[in-house]
Amino acid sequence: MPAKQINRYGDVVITEDVIAKIAGNAALANSVGIVGLASRSKADELATLLKKSAVANGVKVSINGSKVKLEIHVIGRYGVNIASSCESVIEQVKYAVEQSTGLDVVSIIVTVESLMADEDCE
């Protein structure tokens, strides 16, 4: 269900896909230790690295009124502290979504689906 904000000029409707794109781009922009977003194949349960144009597929958005919950699936860089990387993703995404939409992000779950070594990232 999209988020709807009413102001004196009319209604503003923000879809889940827009929020997912904002969150996906923010997760990739400044987060150290994140190679990219991941998508899981339902057939074989393998995580695959998403192209930058498909970042919304690595983010699940739930909206209840003006409250937003996000689930982000990432692929981390081998050798980088996973907890610190995920904390950075959470901070970047929360800030970007709240500033861009005016909605309140109440929960962000980051799932590390896989790790990639530096030589695999090129």
pTM for this prediction: 0.85
- Please provide the average confidence, as pLDDT, over all residues in the chain: 86
Q: How far is CA 55 from CA 20, 50, 72, in A?
A: 8, 6, 10
pLDDT of 100 reads: 94
Map out the domains of the chain as residue ranges. 3-121
Average pLDDT of span 17-33: 90
pLDDT of 47 reads: 67
DSSP per-residue codes, 41-57: -TTT--EEEPPGGGGGG
3-state percent breakdown (helix, strand, coil) of the chain, nearest 5:
35, 40, 20
pLDDT tens digit sequence for 63-79 = 998 899 999 999 899 98
How far is Cα 75 from Cα 95, in angstroms, rounded to an integer?
Answer: 21
From the options 1.20.210.10, 3.30.70.1350, 3.40.50.12280, 3.40.50.300, give the CATH code of 3-121: 3.30.70.1350
